[in-house]
């Protein structure tokens, strides 16, 4: 009887903990393996992660969700998905022909929507993040057309911003899928990007943008706008720029000067 009581108490504890995390904890055993239900759930999550990596990016889906916002389409130097996965360096460089066709100007900011490792995340969340963030920017900030980039990694944003003459770039990219999330969007902010020179230490990242289970668009946009405002003040991003938005009152629109 005491063993049954202890087992019931243990099950109740794990049930309580599971309500606060998507991690697979306290799933129990069936012989030497997982219970069938949890094994099937794990296989389904693995399939969703594979699909997220290999599903093609559809720029039309994002462009349609950004109705009224000018967009430009580019590709990286990776000619196909297999090459992109095997050669990360090519995903960081613009296709030479597409670079020549990018509009140049004196922009304060350019958004780059990149498929990364989850086109699903980009299709579901990128347009909403662009809208939520631009709504928090002051009217004097010159925002370039949104660049929709295929077979792209984060550093491709450096190449895009440099070619367009933008002082700052926000790369919205599909993050590497895990076994609990295949639709997570990341936002990478870089001030003064220089292709081949800027490193990841020069960027600020917001991860796990995927409402309702991750960051909401409003929360992520508020943090991103606050970081932008400080980046323009300090003239930098990366390890020298900290996210202090949680300690501040409601953020005012980000100013470029």
| Percent of the chain whose pLDDT exceeds 70 | 88
pLDDT digit string (tens) for 35-48? 777 777 767 767 77
> What is the pLDDT averaged over residues 186-190?
98
> What is the pLDDT averaged over residues 160-171?
97
Q: Residue 12: helix, strand or coil by DSSP?
A: helix
pLDDT digit string (tens) for 128-153? 999 999 999 999 999 999 999 999 99
CA–CA–CA angle 209, 210, 216 (5° rounding): 70
CA distances from 185 to 6, 128, 171 (A): 41, 11, 10
pLDDT digit string (tens) for 60-84? 999 999 999 999 999 999 999 999 9
Three-state helix/strand/coil letters over 24-55 = CCCCCCECCECCHHHHHHHHHHHHHHHHHHHC
The structure tokens listed for 118 are 């989850």
| Percent of the chain whose pLDDT exceeds 90 | 67
Nearest 10 degrees: CA dihedral of 147, 148, 149, 151?
170
Whether 152 and 115 have beta carbons less than 8 Å apart is answered as yes
What pLDDT, on the 0 to 100 scale, is given for residue 19?
Answer: 75
How far, in Å, CA of 188 to CA of 215, rounded?
15
* pLDDT at 95 exceeding the cut of 80: yes
179 secondary structure, DSSP code? S
* pLDDT at 206 exceeding the cut of 80: yes
What pLDDT, on the 0 to 100 scale, is given for residue 254?
Answer: 64
* pLDDT at 92 exceeding the cut of 80: yes
Please, which residues have CB within 8 angstroms of residue 50's CB and are 6 or more apart in sequence? none
How far, in Å, CA of 226 to CA of 246, rounded?
10
């Amino acid at each position: 009887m005491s063993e049954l009581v202890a087992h019931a108490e243990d099950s109740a504890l794990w049930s309580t903990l599971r309500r606060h995390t998507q991690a697979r904890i306290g799933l129990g055993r069936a012989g030497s393996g997982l219970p069938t239900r949890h094994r099937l759930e794990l296989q389904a999550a693995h399939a969703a992660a594979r699909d997220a990596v290999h599903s093609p990016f559809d720029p039309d889906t994002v462009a349609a969700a950004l109705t009224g916002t000018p967009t430009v389409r580019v590709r990286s130097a990776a000619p196909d998905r297999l090459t992109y996965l095997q050669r990360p360096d090519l995903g960081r460089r613009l296709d030479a022909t597409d670079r020549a066709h990018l509009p140049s100007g004196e922009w304060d900011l350019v958004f780059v929507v990149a498929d990364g490792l989850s086109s699903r995340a980009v299709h579901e969340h990128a347009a909403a993040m662009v809208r939520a963030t631009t709504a928090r920017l002051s009217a004097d900030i010159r925002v370039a057309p949104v660049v929709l980039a295929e077979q792209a990694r984060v550093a491709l944003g450096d190449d895009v911003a440099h070619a367009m003459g933008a002082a700052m770039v926000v790369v919205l990219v599909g993050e590497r899928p895990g076994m609990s999330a295949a639709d997570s969007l990341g936002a990478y902010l870089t001030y003064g990007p220089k292709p081949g020179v800027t490193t990841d230490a020069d960027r600020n990242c917001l991860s796990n943008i995927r409402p309702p289970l991750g960051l909401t668009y409003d929360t992520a946009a508020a943090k991103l706008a606050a970081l932008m405002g400080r980046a323009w003040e300090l003239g930098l991003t990366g390890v020298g720029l900290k996210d202090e938005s949680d300690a501040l009152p409601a953020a005012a629109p980000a100013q470029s000067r």
